[in-house]
Structure 1
Amino acid sequence: METFADEYYVGAYWGPRKESPEDCARRTAELLTLLSACDPLLAHWYKPARSRKDARKQPLMPSDLAMLTESFRRGANREKGGPAIEQLGFTFWFGNGGARGEDVDLRITCGDCGGATPNSCVMTLPSIGANTEQLITAPVLARVVRSMALAWEPDWATATSWEHRAAMAETPTAGGFVGWVTYLPRRRGIVPPLPAPVRIEPVENRGALIVLTPERLTASNPEHVERGKRVGELLARSGVLEPVIAR
């Protein structure tokens, strides 16, 4: 069974945006539908429960808008025992029901319009398992990032490893570095030409994906780290790469 030295994740991040539990549920349903076509591991999702066995009794697919809406409503940020604080948005997390280390988790925070907490959709990826080899590849992760971009319309998204993220800067921030796969919306500007083997792919009419390397990116590969920093410099110079901040 393969074990990766790096631990990978996919994350989409955006600034303040007022959305209701119904809005969050609709976007989540769209995301889950898109993810189901990316890889078999991403086709089944379950509500959180005390055990994985219990979780499998509460599937989220096919998407149930009423169930998702209620889940976000229950996840409203609030002081203990107090009413929901509307401007802080909602949080909902769930997984694909896999065994520990082989599972995929999704944590979504949306609807924050005050800027106190960043809106985000973060997927943690498995480190072991027979299917991990096919999941953690540039083509599959590009499809996952694309799915998040279409569903959430974020200010920035990436698929990379935590180790690579740390290697990019002493204090890397969302939107401020280049991962294995990076999404930049068109409203940030036009992505300039980048040196091979970096690849740029359009995301409909919304923005662009930047794939840093076709092979598996690792923080232990100095070429990957150097390329990430170099591409980040080129994008920052063009004005399209900057931290996700409140607007």
Structure 2
Amino acid sequence: MAKRPTAEAYYAGAYWGPRKESPEECARRTAGFLNLLAECDPFLAQWYKPAKSRKDARTHPLMPPDMPTLAEMFRRGVNREKGGPVFEDLGFSFWFDNGGTSRDCAALRIHCGGYAEGFSNSCFLSLPSQGANAERIFTASVLAEVVRSMALAWDPDWCVSTSWDHRELLSDEGRTGTFVGWVTYLSRRRGSVPPLPAPVRIELVEDKGTLIVLTPDLFTITNPDHVALAQRVRELLVRAGLMHPISV
């Protein structure tokens, strides 16, 4: 996972187990995700191909999504040893951003098509750490729509959006793995989400799974009630058999 920024910030990630997909299938899912993401906030509506400089990147937009271009980007991101054969079962990787500045930038790292035993695919979205865009995006309503978009596009097993500080807290306690964040999504393949305590909001994402929003307020680890609520909800989901690891 990407390195945690120095300022308080949030991220969103979708994760799923082995799933064999071609570069074209990965491109189709990416195109669908980018279109859904553009509806969440204007800051998430422009994306650019990787380039040597931000100025060069601005001349190579990825919006509107172009399937052949995306497929070629994934094809170039195949896993292989230098000068050696391609490891097809490890899938494809593609990284790009929206052309923002260092602390006012969104970036996507996608790894899909991997089907090796115990493998985990992912779509990881890092978000700006400060500024007007961050303040607008770091709300329950926007992050819920971001996670919903991930669920619809990637059909993952688990999605989470929370702060880097929250993830670091859990990591320090040895409890990362599949956890509960500010916004969490669980695929229906895992089972049914049980009733959860207020102020938690539960929403269905079409026929794919369930979206869980812990609180309508800004989730932060400086609020002990938020941390306790996340732990309580996780305990209930563990009891329901919904929080097993991604890789199978």
Band the TM-score falls in, shorter-chain normalisation: over 0.9
SS at match of 1:150: helix
Match of 2:104 in 1: 102
Match of 1:33 in 2: 35
Deviation at residue 117 of structure 1 after TM alignment: 4.5
Match of 1:47 in 2: 49
Q: Which amino acid aligns with 1:146?
A: R
Provide the alpha-carbon RMSD of the alignment: 1.5
Q: Which amino acid aligns with 1:230?
A: R
Contact 1:167 1:225 in 2 (8 A): no
Q: Residue 195 of structure 1 is aligned with which of 186, 194, 197? A: 197
SS at match of 1:230: helix
Q: Residue 87 of structure 1 is aligned with which of 78, 86, 89? A: 89
Which deviates more from structure 2 when the two are superposed, residues 77-86 or residues 64-73?
77-86
Contact 2:166 2:220 in 1 (8 A): yes
Contact 2:17 2:118 in 1 (8 A): no
The alignment status of 1:144 with 2:146, answered yes or no, reads yes
Deviation at residue 222 of structure 1 after TM alignment: 1.0
Which residues of structure 1 form unaligned runs of 5+?
A: none
Any idea what the Cα deviations from partners look like across 1:20-41, whole Å, max 9, x if unmatched?
Answer: 1001000000000000100001
Match of 1:219 in 2: 221
Match of 2:174 in 1: 171
Match of 1:114 in 2: 116
Match of 2:164 in 1: 162
Q: Residue 238 of structure 1 is aligned with which of 229, 237, 240? A: 240
Distance (Å, rounded) in 1 between the aligned partners of 2:222 and 2:117 = 35
Q: Which amino acid aligns with 1:111?
A: G
Any idea what the Cα deviations from partners look like across 1:226-246, whole Å, max 9, x if unmatched?
Answer: 111000000110111222122
Distance (Å, rounded) in 2 between the aligned partners of 1:65 and 1:156 = 26
Distance (Å, rounded) in 1 between the aligned partners of 2:63 and 2:7 = 32
Match of 2:3 in 1: none
Deviation at residue 6 of structure 1 after TM alignment: 2.5
In structure 2, the CA distance between the partners of 1:116 and 1:55, relative to structure 1 (3 Å rule), is farther
SS at match of 1:131: helix
Q: TM-score under structure 1 normalisation?
A: 0.95
Deviation at residue 161 of structure 1 after TM alignment: 1.0
SS at match of 2:185: strand
Deviation at residue 173 of structure 1 after TM alignment: 3.9
In structure 2, the CA distance between the partners of 1:109 and 1:65, relative to structure 1 (3 Å rule), is same
Contact 2:12 2:124 in 1 (8 A): yes
Q: TM-score under structure 2 normalisation?
A: 0.94
Contact 1:18 1:113 in 2 (8 A): yes
Contact 1:6 1:219 in 2 (8 A): no
Distance (Å, rounded) in 2 between the aligned partners of 1:149 and 1:190 = 16
Which deviates more from structure 2 when the two are superposed, residues 219-228 or residues 113-122?
113-122
In structure 2, the CA distance between the partners of 1:51 and 1:117, relative to structure 1 (3 Å rule), is farther
Distance (Å, rounded) in 1 between the aligned partners of 2:85 and 2:75 = 12
Distance (Å, rounded) in 2 between the aligned partners of 1:129 and 1:76 = 35
Match of 1:20 in 2: 22
Q: Which amino acid aligns with 2:8?
A: D
1:44-83 superposed matches below 5 A: 44-83=46-85
**Sequence identity of aligned pairs in percent?**
63
Distance (Å, rounded) in 2 between the aligned partners of 1:171 and 1:76 = 32
Distance (Å, rounded) in 1 between the aligned partners of 2:218 and 2:175 = 21
Q: Which amino acid aligns with 1:171?
A: G
SS at match of 1:12: strand
Deviation at residue 171 of structure 1 after TM alignment: 2.9
Deviation at residue 84 of structure 1 after TM alignment: 1.6
Distance (Å, rounded) in 2 between the aligned partners of 1:239 and 1:144 = 25
Any idea what the Cα deviations from partners look like across 1:57-105, whole Å, max 9, x if unmatched?
Answer: 1000000000000000000000012232100100000001111110000
Deviation at residue 115 of structure 1 after TM alignment: 3.5
Contact 1:6 1:218 in 2 (8 A): no
SS at match of 2:132: coil
Contact 1:44 1:61 in 2 (8 A): yes
